[in-house]
Structure 1
Amino acid sequence: MTGHVDANGSGPTAVRAWRPAVPGVSEVFHARFTDHAYPAHTHQDWTVLIIDDGAVRYDLDRREHGALSSMITLLPPQVAHDGRSAVPGGFRKRVIYLDLSVIDERLIGPSVDHPELIDPLLRHRLAQLHTTLARPGEEVQAQSRLVLITERLQDHLRHRPAESPLRRPDQPVARRLRDLLDEHLADGLDLEHAAAEIGVTTAYLIRAFTASFGLPPHRYLTGRRVERARRLLLNGMPIADAAIAAGFYDQAHLSRHLQHMINTTPGRYRRSAIGTG
């Protein structure tokens, strides 16, 4: 399903989202926020962000950064970040989420250290891509634009070697727990059982995970469930079914967490992709 509609109208928050039929693009997300602040979370995908109005301040891997309208911001998968407006009046942004087949995972380190890119041509091409992705029937053109954009993004990162690669203590333990959490999004995971399976104490497991990923296991799990619910909603799944499939107790449980994450309701978010071609 392609295309999009305004999911929240005009006002303090406006959100649009859709899943174009373009390989490698997991989601397109446009939003205007005034007072909303993103809690710390991670994505499974690469996040390519441009700011159209205002400015954003965010922490990535416990270091503060800023996103301006002159920049492209590339946030790597599996690294915790948050976000809030850096100026009165909020900000307006456009985001493309790209899956791991599109940008080399080995570039995560350079992206952690240097998420902000100054490249007017690349920014122009990204704006063009957003326009193309919003038009049904332009998938071939969008795919062509995406190839040139991702090539240029990777060229930037390859010339920026990581200053502090992600080589933290206990990373194998943390990675194992992350894999278990991902395997059990819908049914949940008992941390005591997970610790016994990995061969460490529960307290050690939680500390290792938090040190490696920048947020505790329960917040990682909630963020991943919200991410899965978003994709299911944009695929047209009924809200109650999407909530259960993503691991939430019920529709109200999903609604609370989606509101906390992106300041909109499941119904509004789902309507971003309904009846749009």
Structure 2
Amino acid sequence: MVRAQQVRVWSPSVSGITEVLHARFTDHAYPMHTHGSWTLLMVDDGIVRYDLDRHEHGAFRQVVTLLPPDVAHNGCPATPHGFRKRVLYLAPEQFGEPLIGPAVDQPTVEDPALRRRIDLLHARLAEPGDEFAAEVHLAFVAERLRAHLTRRTPGAAAVRDPRIAGRLRELLDERFVAGVTLHEAARILHAHPTYLVRAFSAAFGLGPHQYVVSRRVDLARRLLREGVPAGEVAVAAGFYDQPHLSRHFKRILGFNPGQYAARGRRQPGVPGRLTDAFGRP
């Protein structure tokens, strides 16, 4: 039995992404149309046949498809059971007008590393609160796509720049609760976003987003030990909400904030001595 049409669409709070679309269609055929944005398409099941600039193309699981803005295209399922797709609509300035021609000539890219990075980006966009991580993934996705469009070899060597890495850590330490976007950090430190991420990761062994989350979890632990309710802790520590706190807290520590709050307070009469989430000192 063929599943009915399914659509989920939303606008994330991530600069450079205007809209996200996850959809399954069985028999819908798009007429010729245009978008004012770049269309970054991944087909997870089935095949989409489409025309772009009077040439026929196909989108399927093994490839990433990038359709340029203001260029007419259509689309329809190439198999009887339809297709399932994920789409990111990217702001025109993500790639710029000079790359429209190369995208028309070669809209599909076969690059497993790029597809994995886009998978990670979609995963971060699916839940609120991880916009910084989504920004990081988007920066690397855009960099890799630009390399394909300009016929350069994707990928870059590790960046060794302890000075810029240290300055980024200072900025993150100052603003880990309020938050800072990757583009803000790049503007403040006068460095390209992907350069910042590579320099930070090389210097400290984890990405800037993981560092911010670690700082927030540490603050949440302190507040929980002091008896602050978990719902208040989430906002005070910089998390989007309590589920966002719980997800990262358990991922890092192996247990949830409720267990920690119940077991992680100071033992009566033993100053400074704590128990862990399982009642152990």
TM-score (norm 2): 0.53
2:106 is the counterpart of 1:114: yes
Checking the alignment, whether the CA contact within 8 Å between 1:61 and 1:80 is kept in structure 2 is: yes
1:42 is matched with: 34
CA displacement at 1:146 relative to structure 2: 0.3
CA distance in 2, matches of 1:89, 1:11: 9
Distance 1:60 1:123 in 2: 22
Matches within 5 A, 1:183-202: none
- Pick from 75, 85, 96: which aligns with 1:104? 96
Letter paired with 1:136: P
Q: Is the 8 A contact 1:12 1:35 kept in 2?
A: no
Q: Deviations over 1:81-114 (max 9, x none)?
A: 0000111200000000000121122100010010
Q: Which residue identity is paired with 1:146?
A: L
Structure 2 counterpart of 1:53? 45
CA RMSD of the aligned region, Å?
Answer: 1.5
Residues 151-162 of structure 1 aligned to structure 2 (within 5 Å): 151-159=143-151
Of structures 1 and 2, the larger Rg is shown by: 2
2:70 aligned residue: 78
**Count of residues in correspondence between the two structures:** 152
Indicate if the aligned counterparts of 1:54 and 1:90 stay in contact, CA closer than 8 A.
Answer: yes
Structure 1 gap segments, 5+ residues each = 1-9, 161-276
- What is the DSSP-based 3-state SS (H/G/I as helix, E as strand, rest coil) of the residue aligned with 1:35? coil
Matched residue, 2:276: none
Query: 1:91 — aligned with what?
Result: 83
Report the TM-score, using the length of structure 1 for normalisation: 0.54
Looking at structure 1, the residues matched to 23 and 134 of structure 2 have their Cα atoms a distance apart, in angstroms, of 21
1:248 match? none
The letter for the 2-side match of 1:32 is R
- Distance across 1 between alignment mates of 2:102 and 2:79: 28
Q: Structure 1 stretches (4+) deviating beyond 2 angstroms?
A: none
Instruction: Tell me the residue number matched to 2:126.
Output: 134
- Residue by residue, what CA displacement relative to the aligned partner does 1:11-35 show, whole Å, maximum 9, x if unpaired? 4211000000000100000110001
1:149 aligns with 2:147: no
1:1-277 mapped onto 2 (5 Å cutoff): 11-159=3-151
Provide the rounded CA distance (Å) in 2 between the counterparts of 1:109 and 1:78: 11
For 2:150, give the aligned amino acid: R
Alpha-carbon shift at residue 128 of structure 1 (Å): 1.0
| Counterpart residue type for residue 38 of structure 1 | Y
Structure-1 separation of matches of 2:123 and 2:16? 17
CA contact (8 A) 1:50 1:93 kept: yes
CA drift of 1:62 comes to 1.1
> Do the aligned partners of 1:48 and 1:74 also contact (CA within 8 Å) in 2?
yes
Amino acid at match of 1:73: T
The share of aligned pairs that are identical, in percent, is 56
Unaligned runs of 5+ in 2: 153-243, 245-281
**Structure 2 Cα separation of the partners of residues 105 and 149 of structure 1:** 18
* CA offsets 1:41-94 (integer angstroms, 9 cap, x no match): 000000000010001100001110001101000000000000001112000000
Give 1:78's aligned amino acid. Answer: D
- Mean Cα displacement is larger for which, 100-109 or 37-46? 100-109
**Letter in structure 2 aligned against 1:14:** Q
Cα contact 1:54–1:89 (8 A) shared by 2: yes
Counterpart CA distance in 2 for 1:12 and 1:41 is 24
| Matched AA of 2:119 | A
DSSP 3-state at the match of 1:109:
helix
